[in-house]
């Protein structure tokens, strides 16, 4: 923890963009020490099935997972294994049919009403009648931030996702990738401690994806946010995460949890290092076995 704070102070001098975030990060770090014992997300024996016309679909079963403050947890697994469903359950958008689920020590619903998390959906879902700036400011309007602070936060987050100058455009005038970046800025705008991201970079090209991966990593490093991140990309998961959860389908469950303790100030170059490749290999093995288990 001490180490992290030092890193914060150092980079805060170098990079004025993040100075605001740094301060918040330090506050959160000191808060984290007393809260460190209680996990941000605590899932015990959770199951969730959907009632459909051809019988129940068991989307999740026997999920046990505990995510501590400041962790970056990636979820990876074949399509339909329940990654989105798990994230939605944490966000109180789906109701578990069994087990228990606590977010910040309270029920998922309370956490949602406390506005504890920001959610990035699989699609951008920007409102077409609002400009990009208006879309990013939407949660701030709803949460009653004063106008001046709204504008300042909009500007800061547009900068963060490299959309500066596009504030007056409408979503349908932007490319899909730009829309997705705007939706990330929207989720970050009210600075939630917990970020739930469902394949946020799935629609982006490799270069932009790399860039945003680095940005996200720095943001996470400096602010000590907790991130739950769904992805289909093994390198992305290994690069970003402190923990990788490999899931397997029918019924959706956790196949393997892989710790991934690469240095916090890593850069993209680390993807060529042997440690990185070893973890990536283990994730790939897990995915493959999870698949064959099913056939």
Partner 1 sequence: MTFRNVLALIAAALCLLALASPLGSVAGVSLSLWDDVGLLVFALALIAAVLGIVSRKLTGGAADIVMLVLPHSGAWYLIARLGIADQDLQAGYWCLVIASWLAAWIFVDQLSAKKPKSPSLQRFYGVVVPVLFGVWLLILWETLVRGFQVPTVLLPPPSMIGARFAASTAILWADFQQTFLKAVLIGYALGCGSAFLTAILIDRVPFLQRGLLPIGNLVSALPIIGVAPIMVMWFGFDWQSKAAVVIIMTFFPMLVNTVAGLSISSQMEKDMMKTYAAGYWQSLIKLRLPSALPFIFNALKINSTLAMIGAIVAEFFGTPIVGMGFRISTEVGRMNVDMVWAEIAVAALAGTAFYGVMNVIERACTFWHPSFRNG
Ligand X SMILES: Nc1ncnc2c1ncn2[C@@H]1O[C@H](COP(=O)(O)OP(=O)(O)OP(=O)(O)O)[C@@H](O)[C@H]1O
Query: Is 95 a residue that touches partner 1 (CB under 8 A)?
Result: no
Query: Is 80 a residue that touches ligand X (CB under 6 A)?
Result: yes
Question: Which residues are CB-neighbours of 267 under 8 A, at least 6 positions away?
Answer: 214
Could you tell me how many residues of this chain bind ligand X (CB under 6 A)? Answer: 12
Q: Please report, as residue ranges, which positions from 166 to 225 form the binding site for partner 1 (by CB under 8 A).
A: 170, 172-173
Q: Which of 27, 45, 50, 288 binds ligand X (CB under 6 A)?
A: 50
Per-residue tokens: 100: 């228990």
Query: Is 106 a residue that touches partner 1 (CB under 8 A)?
Result: no
Determine the Cα–Cα distance for residues 156 and 107; give it in Å rounded to an integer: 32
Which x/- pattern over 202-241 shows residues binding ligand X (rule: CB under 6 A)?
Answer: ----------------------------------------
- Residue closest to ligand X, measured at CB: 84
Determine the Cα–Cα distance for residues 203 and 133; give it in Å rounded to an integer: 21
Determine the Cα–Cα distance for residues 141 and 121; give it in Å rounded to an integer: 20
Q: Which of 7, 93, 203, 257 binds partner 1 (CB under 8 A)?
A: 93
> Treating both helix axes as pointing N-terminal to C-terminal, what angle do 206-223 and 2-14 enclose, rounded to 10 degrees?
120
Residue 117 near residue 111 (C-beta atoms within 8 A): yes
Whose CA is closest to 188, among 161, 214, 210, 163? 161
Residues near partner 1, by CB under 8 A: 88, 91-93, 112-115, 117-119, 121, 123, 125, 127-129, 138-139, 141-143, 170, 172-173
Residues near ligand X, by CB under 6 A: 50, 52, 57, 59, 79-85, 252
């Amino acid at each position: 923890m001490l180490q992290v704070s030092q890193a914060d102070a150092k980079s805060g001098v170098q990079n004025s963009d993040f100075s605001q975030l740094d301060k918040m990060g330090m506050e959160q770090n000191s808060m984290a020490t007393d809260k460190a014992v209680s996990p941000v997300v605590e899932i015990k024996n959770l199951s969730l099935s959907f009632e459909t016309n051809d019988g129940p679909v068991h989307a999740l079963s026997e999920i046990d997972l505990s995510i501590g403050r400041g962790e970056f947890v990636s979820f990876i697994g074949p399509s339909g294994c329940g990654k989105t469903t798990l994230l939605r359950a944490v966000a109180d958008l789906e109701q578990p049919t069994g087990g228990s689920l606590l977010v910040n020590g309270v029920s998922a619903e309370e956490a949602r009403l406390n506005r504890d998390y920001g959610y990035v959906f699989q699609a951008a879902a920007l409102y077409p009648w609002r400009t990009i700036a208006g879309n990013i400011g939407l949660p701030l309007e709803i949460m009653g931030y004063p106008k001046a602070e709204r504008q300042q936060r909009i500007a800061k987050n547009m900068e963060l996702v490299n959309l500066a100058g596009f504030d007056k455009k409408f979503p349908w005038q932007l490319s899909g990738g730009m829309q997705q970046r705007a939706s990330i800025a929207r989720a970050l705008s009210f600075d939630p401690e917990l970020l739930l991201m469902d394949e946020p970079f799935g629609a982006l090209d490799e270069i932009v994806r790399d860039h945003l991966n680095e940005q996200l990593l720095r943001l996470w490093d400096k602010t000590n946010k907790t991130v739950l991140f769904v992805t289909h990309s093994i390198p992305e998961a290994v690069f970003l995460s402190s923990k990788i959860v490999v899931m397997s389908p029918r019924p959706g469950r956790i196949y393997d949890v892989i710790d991934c303790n690469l240095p916090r100030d890593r850069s993209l170059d680390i993807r060529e290092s042997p440690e990185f490749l070893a973890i990536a290999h283990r994730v790939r093995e897990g995915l493959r076995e999870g698949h064959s288990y099913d056939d």
